[in-house]
Amino acid sequence: MRYTDIEKVIKKMYIAPGSSDKLFEIAVNRSKRAEGRGRKGLEKIKNKEIRRIEIAADYVAKTLRKIALSSPFIEELHPFYQELFSIIINSYSYRRCLSFLYKSSRLIERISKKYIKDIIHCNEKNSILRIRKSFFGRLKSILEDLDDCMRKIRVYQLEILKLPALNPEISSIIIAGAPNVGKSSILKVLTRAKPEIKPYPFTTKEIIVGHIESNGKRIQVIDTPGLLDRPLEEKNNIEKRAILAMKHFKGLLLYVFDPTETCGFTIKYQCSILTDIIEMFPRVEKIIIFNKMDMFDKEHINRIFLICDVIKRYNIVEISALKGLNIEELKRIIHEKIK
């Protein structure tokens, strides 16, 4: 199945105004610039009031339709983004409000035609003005009914704008580990580019994305502070759901150890995070990285193997991201694993 490109959709998304009053005010002001055409007298008055209705109805209807149709359709998104949507917004409310906005745009078009028809068949100036005023009263009433949805959709859209530009369809390298073990430094030495940094909408932390080329393919490299940097029992429900959303990614997971413990976390603690990640991503291939090789010695390594027996299952690479030591070997293994 071909999924919607979330990045393109977000760029084209038409943001809802802060309230229905703002939309109504703009529509009224635009309509005031209308001028009557034709002969003087009743015909000119009719044409002017018809144009006022047409301008206001057209502006409001098109705006509501643009909001509804430019906002992402959840069903057309990749399952990864569908799960993210369920975390950051009320999906039912989002769908219902977009539908309400779209249906209201059609309603406004229908009633504007009715009021225009009434003016056409009217032969008295005061009655024509009364019909036009009645239309604007009806338009205001419809928009007032939409106000709650308008405000909700704007809030949802602003949250959607914060979504990370990730592509679950291409191979990925996810970098995990306790805080301060050197994850961001590893991302930088692997990608040799200024990474894109975006806030996750469900955590105070940030996601950092870089890219590399491997075997002719573009690979995204993702550092996930705040999501995969502490044991599962310390995470809140939102973070747990966010991690579940990442199950859709394919590729490699690099788990980074700091054997020196200068990161401020014990080997036991770092091992606990790894154990949870193995459980959460059982089918994702993993490489264990011992970072800060310019600082650790054999005793540090022996202690890791003594405390964290689970690492014996995986490829282990010793590097220093800070000093650039053994980075080429890490890249070689990554290219070998990502076919």
Reported as a single tens digit per residue, the pLDDT across 169-218 is 888 898 988 888 988 889 888 886 565 556 656 554 667 788 888 777 88
Q: Name the one residue in this structure whose structure tokens are 């009320």.
A: 90
pLDDT of residue 195: 59
CA–CA dist 224, 35 (Å, integer): 58
Residues 276, 278: Cα–Cα separation, whole Å: 5
List the alpha helices (DSSP H) in the chain.
6-12, 20-31, 42-70, 79-88, 91-120, 125-160, 183-191, 237-245, 267-280, 298-307, 327-337
Q: Report the alpha-carbon distance of residue 258 to residue 265 in Å, rounded.
A: 8
Q: Tokens at residue 184, please? A: 């961001």
Domain 6-160 is in which class?
Answer: mainly alpha
pLDDT at site 204: 47
- Cα 334–336–339 angle (5° rounding)? 100
DSSP character at residue 255: E
User: How do 172-177 and 196-199 pair as beta strands?
Assistant: unpaired
User: Which CATH architecture group holds 172-337?
Assistant: 3-Layer(aba) Sandwich (3.40)
3-class secondary-structure state, position 238: helix
Strands 206-214 and 217-223: antiparallel
The answer to whether residues 155 and 16 touch, using CB atoms and an 8 Å cutoff, is no
Of the candidates 103, 132, 146, 105, which has an alpha carbon nearest to the alpha carbon of residue 31?
132
pLDDT of residue 246: 74
For the record, the structure tokens of 233 come out as 């029992």
Of the chain, the percentage scoring pLDDT greater than 70 comes to: 91
Cβ contact 101:149 at 8 Å? yes
Spell out, as residue ranges, where the chain has pLDDT lower than 50: 204
pLDDT, residue 241, reads 64
Question: Alpha helix locations (H) across 71-182?
Answer: 79-88, 91-120, 125-160
Rounded-to-integer distance, Cα 288 and Cα 255, Å:
5
User: Can you give the residue ranges of every domain in the chain?
Assistant: 6-160, 172-337
Confidence at residue 233, expressed as pLDDT on a 0 to 100 scale:
77
- Name residue, tokens 């003005």: 129
